[in-house]
Structure 1
Amino acid sequence: MYKSQLFLAIAATLVVSGAANAFDGDSSNTSNVAVGVSTVNAPPFHYPNRAGIAVNSSGLTNFVDFESLKNYGSSNNSTVDWGTHTVYELNFPYTGAPEDHDNLGVFSFAQAGDGDVWFGEWSAYGTSDATRTVYYSGLNEDTSIPGSISVPVEATYNVVGINNYDPTSGGNLLSGQFDATFYGVTGTLTGDIENASGFNINIGNATISATAVISSSNAVASDTGGTLASSGTVSGRFFNSYADLAGIVDFSGTQYDTAFGGSVAD
């Protein structure tokens, strides 16, 4: 179902509830990375009350907004299934950064849709080290879902995934589509994303709760040689009246953990 059809279905079947600009997010390792509403207020460099991130070296309660962070890193447009997608990379220390920022680590993140919804990965020294953590962070979460058991609402999302991001090889982004079926009190989300090397994440048969939370415990990571990891935990959410989604897939260890985000297909 295309975006305009989804919105018409929502208008016909649902009165959207929930606090405006409410936050949701998750991290695969909360000792390394926390997500929350930004608290650092230092215009014009950082602003409060946006989707934010905090890392252990600067204090896990000092949330910095992604909207500002993207201005200090490099951006790369990587080819995916439906065109291009931009990933922002910020590797500390960088020229001009304050000295107390030297140990803030390596950030690779992207935006889901046009709203204040972000997903990505962080590590202390680079993607291959054991501190690698995936996360999502967003405002304007949805807290109910459209449709009914007798008249479900269906939607397809264009989704990208970040796993061991490498800008020198075209970003190594995963991409694909997730299919959502909303029944008002529950729902399902299925699909997979894959990169040019054949690395694939299948989220399994994920459940959508009545409050628009995405969850699963049967995600699978694979490549052209077969299964790499199974029983991955999916954690995610819908945002902006179901226009966008974001989440993470967490396996045992860190190598195959993946952050994902996307928007309703046009």
Structure 2
Amino acid sequence: MKKLMAFTVLSLATSGAFAATVVGGSSSDYVKARESNLMANGTAGIAMPTTATGTVNEQFAVSFKAGPIAQTDKVLSGYGTTLAQLRNPQTNVVTSETWKNKVAYNTEVYAYRQIAEPTANFPQFGGEVIAKVSGSEVYFGEWAPVKSGTQPANSTDLNLSHANRTVWFSGENPTTSMPTLVNAKYNVVGVNKYNPGTAAGITSGVLTANYGSGSGTLAGSVGSLSFNGTTIASNGSFSRGSVIKGQFYGANAEALAGIYTSGTTKVAFGGAKQ
């Protein structure tokens, strides 16, 4: 596998950017969707553990756009299974490895594998996968805890088989009042134990939304997962019992994202209206 190297470091610097409303969800207490306060203020992000064995630390949430995605874009100009190493320029220590790919429906998928201790108050993870809905500040993905022991270089093992693997979604500008939808089609991608070296773990499908008179439905499938029986609420959220949880985004419900959890099946998904 081709490997690139770069010198970079995350800092606690924040910007004065306008704070967006961020709405999302997750399958466990290890991750929480919220407005960022690291790398940029008020953009879509998630809070994660800041200690190797802890649960979510809600005091710190990293911006996707200004944080990990910006770091990867600096060292990987194209898409594929090429690996880049991110180093702390002060210590010359490799802190993580990263990949960037583009899958169905122009969905960008960024992957990260932690090798060394991050900067204080920054997230701890064995692996993190961030997928971005094309044309929207809407994200979905998965997180896994730190692996024990010294981590080898040049590996695609993101520890996503761990029991505490968590799927999540997070996005700006959530739909707060559902518009009328008549057979609106959404091109949707699912992420399930993504392998950055092969791009395995990606599924896709088309979901159909109908909404009017205060209620609606979402149907169709993503990979082998059926969404039939999912109901849409007036505030832009949708659900099917404890299995499906999600949100529409944009004034005209231009995008959606959510999670599917049933037993050991945990999939994050997101997509845009055709």
Question: Taking structure 1 as the reference length, what is the TM-score of the superposition?
Answer: 0.73
Q: Which residue of 2 aligns with 1:164?
A: 193
Cα offset, 1:71, TM superposition = 2.6
**2:37/2:62 contact within 8 Å kept:** yes
Which of the residues 225, 248, 254 maps onto 1:243?
254
Note the alpha carbon deviations across 1:137-157, whole angstroms, 9 max, x for none: 11100111122xxxx533100
Q: Which residue of 2 aligns with 1:106?
A: 127
CA separation in 2, counterparts of 1:171 and 1:65? 26
Q: Which residue of 1 aligns with 2:68?
A: 69
**2:20/2:44 contact within 8 Å kept:** no
Cα offset, 1:263, TM superposition = 0.1
Q: Which residue of 1 aligns with 2:44?
A: 51
**1:62-141 counterparts in 2 under 5 A?**
62-67=60-65, 68-73=67-72, 74-80=98-104, 82=105, 84-93=106-115, 98=119, 103-124=124-145, 125=147, 126-141=159-174
CA separation in 2, counterparts of 1:144 and 1:39? 27
CA separation in 2, counterparts of 1:37 and 1:179? 29
Structure 1 residues 211 and 101, CA gap change in structure 2 (3 angstroms) = closer
**1:248/1:257 contact within 8 Å kept:** yes
Cα offset, 1:212, TM superposition = 1.0
CA separation in 2, counterparts of 1:39 and 1:99? 14
3-state SS of the aligned residue for 1:71? helix
Cα offset, 1:77, TM superposition = 2.7
**Which structure's residues are more often helix, by fraction?**
1
Matching residue's letter, 2:196: P
CA separation in 1, counterparts of 2:177 and 2:123? 42
Matching residue's letter, 1:77: N
**1:145/1:212 contact within 8 Å kept:** yes
3-state SS of the aligned residue for 2:107? strand
CA separation in 2, counterparts of 1:170 and 1:63? 27
**1:37/1:63 contact within 8 Å kept:** yes
CA separation in 1, counterparts of 2:216 and 2:163? 35
CA separation in 2, counterparts of 1:62 and 1:187? 36
3-state SS of the aligned residue for 2:200? coil
Note the alpha carbon deviations across 1:228-253, whole angstroms, 9 max, x for none: xxxx611101001211000001112x
What is the count of residue pairs matched by the alignment? 212
**1:177/1:191 contact within 8 Å kept:** yes
Which of the residues 204, 207, 214 maps onto 2:231?
207
3-state SS of the aligned residue for 1:39? coil
CA separation in 1, counterparts of 2:270 and 2:116? 27
Structure 1 residues 54 and 105, CA gap change in structure 2 (3 angstroms) = farther
Q: Which residue of 2 aligns with 1:190?
A: 219
The percentage of counterpart residues that share the same residue type is: 30
Gaps of at least 5 residues in structure 1 are 1-19, 41-45, 195-199, 218-231
CA separation in 2, counterparts of 1:39 and 1:133? 21
Deviation >6 Å, runs of 4+: none
**1:146/1:184 contact within 8 Å kept:** no
Q: Which residue of 2 aligns with 1:180?
A: 209
CA separation in 1, counterparts of 2:144 and 2:62? 16
Cα offset, 1:94, TM superposition = 5.9
Matching residue's letter, 1:36: R
**1:145/1:184 contact within 8 Å kept:** no
* 113-122 or 165-174: bigger deviation: 165-174
Which of the residues 137, 142, 147 maps onto 2:175?
142
Gaps of at least 5 residues in structure 2 are 1-18, 52-56, 73-97, 148-158
Structure 1 residues 244 and 139, CA gap change in structure 2 (3 angstroms) = same
Cα offset, 1:206, TM superposition = 0.5
Question: Taking structure 2 as the reference length, what is the TM-score of the superposition?
Answer: 0.71
